Chain A
Amino acid sequence: MRIIKAYKFKRLNRSLGVDLLLFAVIGMVACFMALPLVFTINNAFKPIDEIFQFPPKLFVRNPTFKNFIDLVHIFNDSWVPFSRYIFNTFFITTTGTAGHVLLASAAAYPLAKIKFPGRSVLFSIVVLSLMFTSHVTQVPNYMTISWLGLIDTYWAIILPAFGMTLGLYLMKQFMEQIPDALIEAAKMDGASEYRIFWQIVMPMVKPAWLTLIIFALQNLWSGSAIKFIYSEQLKTINDVFGQIAAGGIVRTGPVAAVTLLMMVVPITVFIVTQSNIIQTMSTSGLKD
Chain B
Amino acid sequence: MAPYFLIFTTFTVVPVVMSLLLSFTHYNMLEPPTWAGWSNYIRLLVQDDVFLIAVKNTILFAAITGPISYMACFLFAWLINELPPRLRAFLTLVLYAPSISGNVLLIWQLLFSSDSYGYANSFLMSWGFILEPVQWLQDPRYMLGILIIVQLWLSLGTSFLAFIAGLQNVDRTMYEAGAIDGIRNRWQELWFITLPAMRPQLMFGAVIQISTAFAVAEVSVNLLGFPSVDYAGHTIVTHLMDFGTIRFELGYASSIATVLFSMMLLTNLLTQKLLRKVGE
CB-contacts of A24-47 with B (<8 A)? 26, 29-30, 32-37, 39-40
Shortest C-beta distance, B266 to chain A (Å), equals: 11
State in angstroms the CA–CA spacing of A144 and B18 once bound together: 11
A144 and B14: CB pair below 8 A?
Answer: yes
B19 CB contact (under 8 Å) in A55, A137, A166, A173: A137
Number of interface residues of A (CB under 8 A): 86
B226 shortest CB reach to chain A, Å: 13
Task: Point out the residues of chain A lying under 8 angstroms from B176, CB to CB.
Answer: 12
B254 touches A173 (CB 8 A): no
CB closest residue in chain A, given B165: A207
Question: Which of B35-43, B123-131, B202-210 faces chain A?
Answer: B202-210
Q: Is residue A88 contacting chain B, with contact meaning CB distance below 8 A? A: no
Stretch at the interface among A68-76, A77-85, A275-283: A275-283
User: In the docked arrangement, what's the CA distance between A32 and B211, Å?
Assistant: 25
Query: Roughly how many angstroms separate A55 CA and B76 CA in the complex, as a whole number?
Result: 34
Known: A107-B1, A140-B19, A168-B4. A36 touches B97 (CB 8 A): yes
Bound form: Cα–Cα A162–B92 in Å: 27
Contact of A132 among B98, B197, B261 (CB under 8 A): B261
Counting CB contacts under 8 A, is A3 at the interface?
A: no
- Would B161 and A37 count as touching, CB distance under 8 A? no
For residue A180, CB closer than 8 A to chain B, the reply is no
Task: Select A103's contact among B3, B215, B245, beta carbons within 8 Å.
Answer: B3
Say whether B237 contacts A160, CB under 8 Å: no
Interface contact A211-B240, CB-CB below 8 Å: no
Per-residue interface assignment for chain A, residues 1 to 37, with 1 indicating a CB less than 8 Å from any chain B CB and 0 otherwise: 0000000000111110010001100100110111111
Complex contact A275–B11 (CB within 8 A):
no
Partner of A130, one of B5, B94, B211: B211
Q: Is A115 an interface residue (CB 8 A)?
A: no
Query: Cβ of A194: which chain B residues have Cβ within 8 Å of it?
Result: none
Pick from B186, B197, B203, B256: contact of A14, CB below 8 A. B186
- Contact A160 B7, beta carbon cutoff 8 Å: yes
Which A residues touch B82, using CB under 8 A? 11, 14
Give the distance to chain A from B131, nearest Cβ to Cβ, in Å: 19
B143 CB, min distance to chain A CBs, angstroms: 21
For residues 38 through 89 of chain B, which have their beta carbon under 8 Å from a beta carbon of chain A?
A: 76, 79-80, 82, 85-86, 88-89
CA A204 to CA B171, docked complex, whole Å:
12
What CA separation (Å) do A46 and B10 show in the bound complex? 47
Using A104-B4, A160-B7, A207-B169 as known contacts, say yes or no to A135 and B98 having CB atoms under 8 A apart. no
Q: Which of A181-222 contact B (CB under 8 A)?
A: 204-205, 207-208, 210-211, 214-215, 218, 222
Given A132-B257, A163-B4, answer yes or no on A271-B89 (Cβ-Cβ < 8 Å).
yes
Chain B contact residue count (CB 8 A cutoff): 95
B13 adjacent to A129 (CB under 8 Å): yes
**In the complex the two chains form, what is the Cα distance from A36 to B203 in whole Å?**
30
Query: What is the CA–CA distance of A173 and B272 in the complex, to the nearest angstrom?
Result: 14
Selected contact of B168 from candidates A22, A170, A278, CB within 8 Å: A278
A75 to chain B, nearest CB (A): 19
Selected contact of B91 from candidates A26, A140, A168, A214, CB within 8 Å: A26
Whether A127 is near chain B, meaning CB under 8 Å from some CB there, is yes
Partner of A136, one of B103, B201, B250: B250
Chain A residues near B107: list those with CB within 8 A: 35-36, 39
B229 within 8 A of A: no
Residues of A136-180 contacting chain B, CB below 8 A: 136-141, 144, 148, 159-160, 162-163, 165-166, 168-170, 173-174, 176-177
21 residue pairs of the A-B complex, CB under 8 angstroms, read A12-B175, A18-B186, A26-B76, A29-B95, A35-B97, A39-B103, A129-B13, A131-B210, A133-B215, A133-B260, A135-B240, A140-B18, A144-B15, A160-B7, A163-B7, A174-B169, A207-B169, A263-B100, A270-B93, A271-B89, A274-B89
Interface residues of B (CB under 8 A from A): 1, 3-16, 18-19, 22, 29, 76, 79-80, 82, 85-86, 88-104, 106-107, 110, 117, 122, 153, 156, 158, 161-162, 164-166, 168-173, 175-176, 179, 183-186, 188-189, 197, 200-201, 203-204, 207-208, 210-211, 215, 237, 240-241, 244-245, 250, 253-254, 256-257, 260-261, 264-265, 268
Supplied contacts A135-B253, A274-B164, A275-B88, 9 more A-B pairs, CB within 8 Å: A26-B91, A36-B104, A36-B107, A140-B15, A168-B8, A211-B161, A275-B89, A277-B168, A281-B168
Q: Which residues of A contact B (CB under 8 A)?
A: 11-15, 18, 22-23, 26, 29-30, 32-37, 39-40, 54-56, 103-104, 106-107, 109-111, 122, 125-133, 135-141, 144, 148, 159-160, 162-163, 165-166, 168-170, 173-174, 176-177, 204-205, 207-208, 210-211, 214-215, 218, 222, 259, 262-263, 266-267, 270-271, 274-275, 277-281, 283
